[in-house]
Amino acid sequence: MKTKDKIIHCALKLFNEQGERQITTNHIAADLGISPGNLYYHFSNKQEIIRSIFQLYVEQLEASFRPHADQRLTLEHLTSYLDASFELMWRFRFMYANLLELLARDPQLEEQYQALQQELANWSRDILLQLRDSRFITGDDATMMELADSVKFIIGAWIAYQSAQLKGGEITKARLYQGVLKILFTLRPYFTEESQHTYQGLYQHYVKFAERNK
């Protein structure tokens, strides 16, 4: 790994652990065992490091969400998407802890973030429509749109919400995956009669998962 990448990953680690505000560029350099001058050789300022982290986030997000081509969507696909997105949020959780501050400080980042949100909205909508096509769920178009927005909302807001509930802010994997349960619960009323069984299976799977990770 190149120094530039090391800086990005080290910064991400420290930001997640202690918050972006408490971590100075000197902390990052010290943690890596490099000089502050060297850090500034690779990045012209702290904000650029944050932008690079965001870039990494976008890349990983898009890789996860790239649709499985022509395959028919199964519920397993859905949950694997959900798993991936929650994992991702976990890896970049400092961003969610400070999102508004970060965006307010950096219009360029704000623009990128909002473009990404649009992509996520489309993706969320497509998934739901596919689920309807496959008769897992049912509902009119407007309902599907609103439901897609709910899903996107839960994904985007879950980490910050949960972290704030927990002493020391240290969220666990179990708490993280309750976000998936929350999405399933929100979709439940729209599951068709014949997929109730599938729903139950999925739900129990995550309940067990959460219990194992308590």
Residues of this chain that interact with its own copies (CB under 8 A) are: 18-19, 21, 96-101, 103-104, 110, 113-114, 117, 146, 149-150, 153-154, 156-158, 160-161, 163-165, 167, 169, 182, 185-186, 188-190
Q: Rounded to the nearest whole angstrom, what is the least distance from the CB of residue 46 to DNA in the complex?
A: 4
Partner that binds at residue 38, options its own copies, DNA, none, CB closer than 5 to 8 Å by kind: DNA
Partner that binds at residue 71, options DNA, its own copies, none, CB closer than 5 to 8 Å by kind: none
Which tokens go with 199? Answer: 């729903």
Q: Rounded to the nearest whole angstrom, what is the least distance from the CB of residue 168 to DNA in the complex?
A: 21
Nearest to DNA of 22, 196 (CB atom): 22
* H-assigned helices in the chain: 3-18, 25-32, 36-42, 46-65, 75-91, 93-97, 99-105, 107-133, 141-165, 173-187, 196-212
Angstrom distances, CA of residue 176 to CA of 46, 95, 97, 134, 161: 29, 15, 14, 28, 10
Q: Rounded to the nearest whole angstrom, what is the least distance from the CB of residue 71 to its own copies in the complex?
A: 29
Q: Helix (H, G, I), strand (E, B), or coil: what is residue 168?
A: helix
Site for DNA in 37-56 (CB under 7 A): 37-42, 44-47
3 binds DNA (CB under 7 A): yes
Nearest to DNA of 44, 165 (CB atom): 44
CA distance 109 to 90: 20
Nearest to DNA of 26, 196 (CB atom): 26
18 binds DNA (CB under 7 A): no
Q: Rounded to the nearest whole angstrom, what is the least distance from the CB of residue 72 to its own copies in the complex?
A: 26
Which tokens go with 4? Answer: 């530039």
Sign of CA dihedral 72, 128, 197, 195: negative
Residue span 121-160 as binding mask against DNA, x where in contact by CB under 7 A, dash where not: ----------------------------------------
Partner that binds at residue 25, options its own copies, DNA, none, CB closer than 5 to 8 Å by kind: DNA
**Non-local CB neighbours of 129 within 8 Å, separated by 6+ positions:** 144
Nearest to its own copies of 190, 209 (CB atom): 190
2 binds DNA (CB under 7 A): yes
**Non-local CB neighbours of 72 within 8 Å, separated by 6+ positions:** 130, 134
CA distance 67 to 197: 25
